Amino acid sequence: MPELPEVETIVHSLRPRLFGQRIRGLTLHRTDIVHPFGFDLAAALIGHRVTDLFRRGKRIVFQVDDDNHFFIHLGMSGRLTIQSAETSPRKHTHLLLTFGGKRSPIVVHFTDPRRFGGIWWLGTDPPQGTMGPEPLTLRASQLATRLAKTKRPIKNALLDQRLIAGVGNIYADESLFLAGLHPLRLAHTLNADEINRLMHAIKLTLRRAIHHKGSTLRDYVDGDGKRGSFQLRHNVYDRADEPCRKCHTSLSRMVIAGRSSHFCPTCQPRQ
């Protein structure tokens, strides 16, 4: 699914279309995607305008004109796309949100075959929760403090949304490659230079991925249904046994934190 760059791209495509628009209708095809379960979304949202739309971690957060907030998380296979009023929903479309006037309404479709995603009501005072800081504005010194507290492999730590928000399996692997760090290196053993490299690598990787509108491996498209192209520029992710783009060594694949990890055994020495 979408990690930070994909979610950022979706928000970028939806924001100008939805900003200030009034929610006219809401159709729920599956009730189990709503959290808390049973919350009456239609009663809370219909008639209200969208006053803000932004990304936080991998969440797409909506603010409405009575200061209530909710967010959509796309899980592994979710899509959030803008369709015309005539478009019939595809299979596994669980929620339709209709915006705008009766003359030219736009409909946002939430589609998610695996249903790991959903919609979460936050109310007027969204709690900070346990989500970690945004990587694009994080300082290396702050990352150092957080990594010093865990003895897990660095790959596991990067996937922990409480430690840093928005990085998933693709961008963790790509960032570790750019930083020249083996995914099994224990987080608390990284020195200042390595943490600087890692912080720089995470930011560079995420910015490049946003520039290319994310990675489309399978399901991901933006709000206009367009695919990303960053998958063409991956250095290591899903490239096991292919040559490293830097040194031509055959890339490795290993299961870490229950996820496949891809790395170059030469450029990312374990030491």
Instruction: List, by residue number, the catalytic residues.
Output: 2-3, 58, 259
Using CB under 7 A as the binding rule, whether residue 190 contacts DNA is answered as: no
* 116 near DNA, judged by CB under 7 A: yes
Give the shortest CB-67-to-DNA separation in angstroms.
Answer: 23
Q: How far apart are CA 85 and CA 3, in angstroms?
A: 29
For residue 185, what are its two tokens?
Answer: 């290196």
Minimum distance from CB of 48 to DNA (Å)? 26
C-alpha 24/C-alpha 12 separation (Å) is 22
Tell me which residues in 33-72 interact with DNA (CB under 7 A). 57-58
CB of 98 to DNA, least distance (A): 25
Q: How far apart are CA 41 and CA 50, in angstroms?
A: 14
Instruction: Name the burial class of residue 173, with classes exposed (0-12), middle (13-18) and buried (19+) by CB atoms within 10 angstroms of its CB.
Output: buried
Of 17-25, 43-51, 61-69, 164-172, the window that binds DNA (rule: CB under 7 A) is: 164-172
Interaction between residue 81 and DNA (CB under 7 A): no
Nearer to DNA, 139 or 149 (CB): 149
Question: To the nearest whole angstrom, how small is the minimum distance from the Cβ of residue 74 to DNA?
Answer: 8
Q: How far is the CB of 137 from DNA (least distance, A)?
A: 18
Binding residue for DNA, selected from 168, 179, 202, 206, defined by CB under 7 A? 168
The whole-angstrom separation of Cα 264 and Cα 246 is 9
For residues 253 and 37, give the distance between their C-alpha atoms in angstroms, rounded to a whole number.
39
114 binds DNA (CB under 7 A): yes
Task: Quote the CA–CA distance of 1 and 106 in Å, as a whole number.
Answer: 24
Interface stretch with DNA, choices 60-68, 80-88, 98-106, 147-155 (CB under 7 A): 147-155
Count of CA atoms in the C-beta half-sphere (13 A) of 29 = 15
Burial 188-208 (b: 16+ CB within 10 A, else e): eebeeebbbbbbebbbebbee
Residues at the contact surface with DNA, assessed by CB under 7 A: 1-3, 6, 57-58, 73, 75-77, 91-92, 113-116, 149-153, 156, 159, 161, 168-170, 214-220, 257-260
